[in-house]
Amino acid sequence: MELTMPGLFPSMLWVWILGALAFGVWLLFDENRETPVSDDNQFLIGLAILVMLTASKVGHYGLTTEPEQWRVVDEVVTELPEADEPKSVYSCDLQF
């Protein structure tokens, strides 16, 4: 059985692509304003968006993934570690 352990970079790539699309749409609407944002400020706004998206994705990945499972790229695992003996949900220990 193969299991793919998700990595940070592949999902980060999608966040950056969506961020670039959102920034592009914002630039299209900014061109039609009476006083569009200057080129220097456009660069700073784009950089701020990139930093915010990166920080939020890294934070989300760090909070939702166990530290032993952190990966930079996707990794295919063929051998899973041995698990403890499964415990039944319906079992109970009665002590008198």
Q: What does the pLDDT look like over 3-51, one tens digit per residue? A: 666 788 888 888 899 999 989 888 888 878 888 888 888 899 889 999 9
The SS3 of residue 32 is coil
Is the model's pLDDT at 90 over the cut of 80?
A: no
Task: Say if residue 71 is exposed, middle or buried (CB neighbours under 10 Å; 0-12, 13-18, 19+).
Answer: middle
Is the model's pLDDT at 56 over the cut of 80?
A: yes
Q: Would the pTM count as exceeding 0.85?
A: no
Runs of H (alpha helix) within 1-96: 8-31, 39-64
